[in-house]
Chains A and B, each alone.
With several copies, the nearest count.
Chain A
Amino acid sequence: MKIRAEVRLKPGHFDPEGDVTAKSLRELGFPVDAVKVGKVYVLDVKVNSKEEALRLTEEMCRKLLANPVKDDYTIEVLNT
């Protein structure tokens, strides 16, 4: 089962990488106000049920992929 987990900084958190990206884009002449950068993990989870896959991925995010002090995450199933 392919699951997509997206880990992004919590709203209101300072995102240095996003700021630098925005600045570079503006230097290149693009009309960009702000950029937020996050990570996507596309995971191949070896379970049969969608629910189980979601539950496990949730746990992976809590345990490893995100740091709750600064990160939010969203999870979705890509296919079955």
Chain B
Amino acid sequence: MGLNISLDRMKYLKQYFKDRPLTDVELEMIAQTWSEHCFHNVFKGDVLTDDGRLIHSILKTYIMRATRELNKEWCISVFEDNAGIVDFDNGYAIAAKVETHNHPSAVEPFGGAATGVGGVIRDILGVWGEPVALTDVLCFGPLDIKYEDLPPGVKHPRYIYRGVVAGIGSYGNNMGIPTVSGAIFFDKGYTGNVVVYCGCIGILPKDSYVRNTCEGDFAVLAGGRTGRDGIHGVTFASVELTEESEELRSAVQIPNPIVEERLRRAIIQIRDERLASGITDLGGGGLSCAAGEMAYRSGLGVDIDLDRVLLKTPDMAPWEIWVSESQERMLLSVPEKNLMRVIEIFNEEDVEASVVGRFVETGRVRVFAKGRTVCDLDLKFLFNPPKVTRKARLPKPAHSEVNLDEPRDLGEELLKLLSEPNIRSKEDVIRTYDHEVRGCTVIKPVYGDEAGPSDAAVIKPLKDSWKGIAISCGINPFYPDPYWMVANSIEEAVRNNVAVGGRRIALLDNFVWGSPENEDNMGMLLKAVEACYDFSKALDAPFISGKDSLYNESPLGAVRPTLLITGIGIISDVRKVVTPSFKEEDNPIYMLGLTKEELRGSAYLRHKGVDGGEVPRVDGVISKRIIDTLIRVIDEQLVLSCHDLSEGGLGVAAAEMVVASKNLGAEIHLRKVLSGTRRSDFILFSESASRFLVEVDRSRYKRFEEFFSGLPFSKIGRVVKGAGLRIIDLNSRVSELSSREIKKAWRGY
């Protein structure tokens, strides 16, 4: 197993250490710290484009710049710590983080996914947050792929799917943190590279966010013991998965959620008693990264004695202890006067903890084992590796016509789409996750008795406040244009959030990409981050945290480039949330936004096996105005139900609202839809952005229309008695679908 340090950097190391040899511990530490996973070389390095531009750090130039320019006073900590932190209410703040755990899940689906959840929970604990909700977004290969079509070393998607879903559920359920939001996709582009996103949202009193490690503070390592499991996880994260990956046994991490459950209790207690001066999780790179980072960001140095680390197996080499990625561990810095009480709290919760070192003024990281110094490195040197320059070839937009006959029966087409794996209800998975534990879930991931779709989950995290947190996501991996794919994903995350009444939305970006050594991948990545900047600005929604996972390659090639946008919004009063079920007969149904002939990559064309046309584009100005106005009419309580339009367009959105409703349905006139296309099927299935379906109180529709004057909107139908969906197409042909049929297609029962 290699260290995965590039040749250039090896040369640099040789030069730097020409006077003495590097120890194995030092070399390992350098490899960990400089790994893509820990250091984000690509996002922090230089990019040279084929049109001659040199960009210093795409992270700073695009993602962080948007946040800086938006300059929101409610952003408390962004891009710095383990999680992003924004203001909430009553002196409390929200912490949010999303991670990927793709490689481990490909090798050991259950353990990989479970430890993904465990890891992101520790990121929240690592900013003193009490975890209150989890999210998961998963992308698999098609479940019906043939065994014979899989190259050696690639596990069947069905096996991965079963394991990943069970792993996610197991960890969250065991920890008693509700899993409230997520998505599942199936596509050939994920057969060799499963994608597992795990997110966690936490709550903390603002004044308990302490990051003040001082000279003389003790380094306390707590939680699970350190073992051989998970050695080289981070360097492993940036190698291509091949048949040999099976041999990378030591990278397998075994989840132990009850240890983390106890750890959480202890840490929240230590937080509430204000006993520690700093905290961080042990994730990639294990103790080496955690201790180094903590010292470096405090402007200090650290001395660590490996003999004091509690081990699972006694015969570990110093370098193994130093970089082990055993799960369920946290590192705290504790002032001497509080040490006894901290240890006592750990004891009370049955958590093992030991003092492994001390923070010192040296600016160096020194590691001792069996009385010998095994590592002595300058932290400035360690955290400033030579920059990496990547080349990017920008994608050329391809144009082609859509070649597809208009179908005879729109209703039949809609039913087919509703039962498509990417669109149909994920209820069978969602219900294996406890989404009610903690008793604070207001909008659940399945809505109401009919298990309809929810646009976003809403939780009420504080006992004494009616304020809620709306958690949404946006992800459109199927639009074959990285810029517009990202634009749509950002807008979708915002749309979903606003649809339930969310506002003041903060975003998290999580990239899953193929190798950055491939210039086309880099070109696509560049377009993607450009869109991040443009639409974060346009929609007034800053990024607060994120992560990139590059090098997702397998014998089947690169992963489908995928960006997950998570939206964290605020609900002013959870009793006023908006839901997707129709409320009363004869209320008008409005569509907000314009419907264009934008079907490239749409669920409809993919289902038909057709590629062509235009991908949906987002007009940031119109989008922002529609969204702002929608929030105002929600606050005026003019909106009785609302659903955002995304995959499958108007047809699927309307059908989903019918699913959510009990004895009500809808009548929709395609003629009344504001659109630039003359085909009924295109109107019904276009995936143009910035659109919502809204049911409005019929006695107050005039007021609603006043709000939207000057913006694209139209009354396209009404709520009807009796469950079902009636679509009247451009030629006045009527398609009638009963609610039974729709539910059967979408839910499967």
Q: Which residues of A contact B (CB under 8 A)?
A: 9-10, 12-16, 20, 24, 27-29, 63-64, 67-70
Shortest CB-to-CB span from A35 to chain B, Å, is: 15
Is the CB–CB distance between A20 and B258 below 8 Å? yes
Is the CB–CB distance between A70 and B159 below 8 Å? no
| 5 A-B pairs with C-beta separation under 8 A | A14-B254, A27-B158, A28-B147, A64-B159, A69-B108
Judge whether B233 is part of the interface by a CB distance below 8 angstroms: no
Is the CB–CB distance between A63 and B259 below 8 Å? no
Is the CB–CB distance between A16 and B229 below 8 Å? no
When distances are taken between beta carbons in the complex, the residues of chain A under 8 Å from B453 are none
When distances are taken between beta carbons in the complex, the residues of chain B under 8 Å from A9 are 254
Judge whether B573 is part of the interface by a CB distance below 8 angstroms: no
Question: Chain B, 103-141, contact with A by CB distance < 8 Å: what is the 0/1 string?
Answer: 000011111000000000000000000000000000000
**Assuming A16-B258, A20-B258, is B111 touching A70 (CB within 8 A)?**
yes
Shortest CB-to-CB span from A31 to chain B, Å, is: 16
**Assuming A12-B313, A24-B162, is B252 touching A70 (CB within 8 A)?**
yes
When distances are taken between beta carbons in the complex, the residues of chain A under 8 Å from B629 are none
Question: Chain B, 235-269, contact with A by CB distance < 8 Å: what is the 0/1 string?
Answer: 00000000000101100101110110000000000
Is the CB–CB distance between B246 and A63 below 8 Å? no
Is the CB–CB distance between A12 and B228 below 8 Å? yes
Is the CB–CB distance between A13 and B254 below 8 Å? yes
When distances are taken between beta carbons in the complex, the residues of chain A under 8 Å from B147 are 28-29
Shortest CB-to-CB span from B309 to chain A, Å, is: 15
Question: Chain B, 67-110, contact with A by CB distance < 8 Å: what is the 0/1 string?
Answer: 00000000000000000000000000000000000000001111
With both beta carbons as reference points, the residue of chain B lying nearest to A10 in the complex is identified as: B249
Question: Chain B, 487-519, contact with A by CB distance < 8 Å: what is the 0/1 string?
Answer: 000000000000000000000000000000000
Is the CB–CB distance between B229 and A13 below 8 Å? yes
Judge whether B312 is part of the interface by a CB distance below 8 angstroms: yes
With both beta carbons as reference points, the residue of chain A lying nearest to B256 in the complex is identified as: A16
Is the CB–CB distance between B249 and A70 below 8 Å? yes
Judge whether B460 is part of the interface by a CB distance below 8 angstroms: no
Is the CB–CB distance between A67 and B259 below 8 Å? no
Number of B interface residues at 8 Å Cβ cutoff, please give it: 26
With both beta carbons as reference points, the residue of chain A lying nearest to B227 in the complex is identified as: A14
**Assuming A27-B158, A69-B107, A69-B108, is B313 touching A16 (CB within 8 A)?**
no
Shortest CB-to-CB span from B327 to chain A, Å, is: 10
When distances are taken between beta carbons in the complex, the residues of chain B under 8 Å from A27 are 158
When distances are taken between beta carbons in the complex, the residues of chain B under 8 Å from A28 are 147, 156, 158
Give the top 9 A-B pairs by smallest Cβ distance, nearest first.
A16-B256, A70-B252, A14-B312, A69-B108, A69-B252, A69-B249, A67-B108, A69-B107, A14-B227
Shortest CB-to-CB span from B16 to chain A, Å, is: 36
User: Within B310-354, which residues are at the interface with A (CB < 8 Å)?
Assistant: 312-313
Shortest CB-to-CB span from B351 to chain A, Å, is: 14
Is the CB–CB distance between A16 and B254 below 8 Å? yes
CA distance A64 to B110 in the complex (A): 12
With both beta carbons as reference points, the residue of chain A lying nearest to B259 in the complex is identified as: A16
When distances are taken between beta carbons in the complex, the residues of chain B under 8 Å from A24 are 158, 162
When distances are taken between beta carbons in the complex, the residues of chain A under 8 Å from B109 are 67
**Assuming A14-B227, A16-B259, is B246 touching A68 (CB within 8 A)?**
yes
When distances are taken between beta carbons in the complex, the residues of chain B under 8 Å from A63 are 156, 159
Shortest CB-to-CB span from B257 to chain A, Å, is: 9
CA distance A42 to B369 in the complex (A): 35
Shortest CB-to-CB span from B312 to chain A, Å, is: 5
CA distance A13 to B163 in the complex (A): 19
When distances are taken between beta carbons in the complex, the residues of chain A under 8 Å from B258 are 16, 20
Shortest CB-to-CB span from A12 to chain B, Å, is: 7
Shortest CB-to-CB span from A62 to chain B, Å, is: 10
CA distance A63 to B160 in the complex (A): 11
**Which of A10, A13, A24: most chain B Cβ within 10 A?**
A13
Shortest CB-to-CB span from A53 to chain B, Å, is: 20
When distances are taken between beta carbons in the complex, the residues of chain B under 8 Å from A20 are 258
With both beta carbons as reference points, the residue of chain B lying nearest to A64 in the complex is identified as: B159
Shortest CB-to-CB span from A15 to chain B, Å, is: 8
